[in-house]
Amino acid sequence: MQNYIFDFDLTLIDSGRVNVLSTQAAFEKMGWEKPTPETVSYYTGIPIEQSFPKMAPDNATNEQIQKLLTVFVHEYEKLEPGNLKLFPGIKDALTTLHQAGKQLFIATSNRTEVVTRNTKALGIYDYFDEIVGFDQVEKAKPEPDTVLKIVADHHLDKNETIMIGDATFDLEMGKNAGVHTAGVLWGAHDKQALINVHPDYLLDQTSQLLDIK
- Give the dihedral sign, CA 104/109/111/117: negative
pLDDT at 81 over 90: no
- Rounded to 10 deg, the angle between the 16-29 and 48-55 helix axes is 50
| Dihedral sign (CA 48, 14, 73, 25) | positive
CATH number at residue 121: 3.40.50.1000
Q: Is the pLDDT of residue 16 over 90?
A: no
Range 149-163 average pLDDT: 98
Question: Using one digit for the tens of pLDDT, what is the confidence trace for 85-119?
Answer: 999 999 999 999 999 999 999 999 999 999 999 99
Domain containing residue 23: CATH number: 1.10.150.240
Q: Are residues 8 and 98 part of one domain? A: yes
Domains held by the chain: number: 2
Q: Give yes or no for residue 45 having a pLDDT over 90.
A: no
What pLDDT was estimated at residue 44? Answer: 86
Same domain, 31 and 53: yes
Let me know whether 89 and 188 are in one domain: yes
Q: How far apart are CA 161 and CA 104, in angstroms?
A: 10
Question: Does residue 7 sit in the same domain as residue 37?
Answer: no
Residues 48 and 135 occupy one common structural domain: no
